[in-house]
Amino acid sequence: QLIVIDSIQTIASPYIESTPGSISQVRECTSDLQVFAKESNIPVFIIGHINKEGHIAGPKILEHIVDTVLQFEGDRNHIYRILRTNKNRFGSTDEIGIYAMEMSGLREVENPSELLLSQSDEKLSGSAVACTVEGIRPMLIETQALVSQAIYGTPQRSATGFDLRRLSMLLAVLEKRAGLFFGQSDVFMNIAGGLKVQDTAIDIAIVAALVSSLQNIPVNKKICFSGEVGLTGEIRAVTRIDQRIEEARRLGFEKIYISSYNKFSDKPNAGNIEIIQVAKIEDLVASLFG
């Protein structure tokens, strides 16, 4: 048995003289539901409104009272959704769920990496594969970049599924440290599948995609990347590197670029994947594009 309240802003307590959705009503109704759940041992799912930024609308009262806060993420134009834990009073917030929205409802995606990677064998510039970690789950994602001559006076910068400010930072680092100029070019960045990636280990994959598009040189589809870029151009170590390497090896990748500062066990290196460690962004560009 379970109870679903849709939504907390539409119900009201007769003991509170205010309209449904007010702060006092939300606080009182949520508290009553919490007491009922504890006494009856019946789970209660409360659906709350969100604002344009995707956060729970209104004051943080609702989040403070409940035991767990779950939130769906995803682009309405794509079928994939990530169920992320923002708060968990009784456990870890590192677990996530990945689902596909279908006619019959949500279906769990057991192997998201295979679905999010391009199935085309055609060699095209501007594409690179990143080995990211969402929660505690390693996941390979295709990053796509398009660099073209700016038509208007001010070059355009656009990013879908990735922080636009971080894209601007990576472009600045490429210009300063690798001598690649993007000042007269429009730059468009996209994360395939409609996902939003927060893992900074995606940085060097985006760098590879940007340079690939700028120079119109494809990146080998059997290469993937996992490393963070610092402001000085160094490639910084990332967490869970053994899991990332093992996921890349499992999916048949032949090479993975990681930071020179990452320490990994011998186990992943024993497989049929070559691990290439680079310390600086210019070393990465030179290794890939000469």
Per residue in 81-122, pLDDT tens?
A: 888 888 999 888 877 888 888 889 889 888 878 777 876 678
What pTM did the predictor assign? 0.80
> Residue 23 belongs to what domain range?
1-66
Which pLDDT belongs to residue 96? 80
> Residue 143: which H helix or E strand, with range?
strand 137-149
Same domain, yes or no: 267 and 126: yes
One domain, residues 245 and 167: yes
pLDDT for position 266: 62
Residues 164, 31: Cα–Cα separation, whole Å: 39
Q: How many domains does the chain fold into? A: 3
Same domain, 61 and 73: no
Q: Could you read off the pLDDT of 117-159 as tens digits, one per residue?
A: 876 678 899 999 999 998 788 999 999 999 999 988 889 999 9
Whether residue 22 is found in the same domain as residue 143:
no
**Would you state the pLDDT for residue 267?**
54
151 with 260, same domain: the answer is: yes
* Same domain for 135 and 100: no
* CATH at residue 183: 3.30.230.10
Shared-domain flag, residues 226 and 172: yes
Same domain, 162 and 240: yes
Last residue of a domain, one of 110, 131, 162: 110
Do 132 and 207 belong together in one domain? Answer: yes
246 and 258 housed in the same domain: yes
Q: How far apart are CA 290 and CA 284, in angstroms?
A: 9
CB atoms closer than 10 angstroms to residue 253: 22
Low-confidence ranges of the chain (pLDDT < 70): 119-120, 266-271
The verdict on 24 and 87 lying in the same domain is no
* Residue 230 CB burial class (10 angstroms; 0-12, 13-18, ≥19): middle
Q: 93 and 217: one domain?
A: no
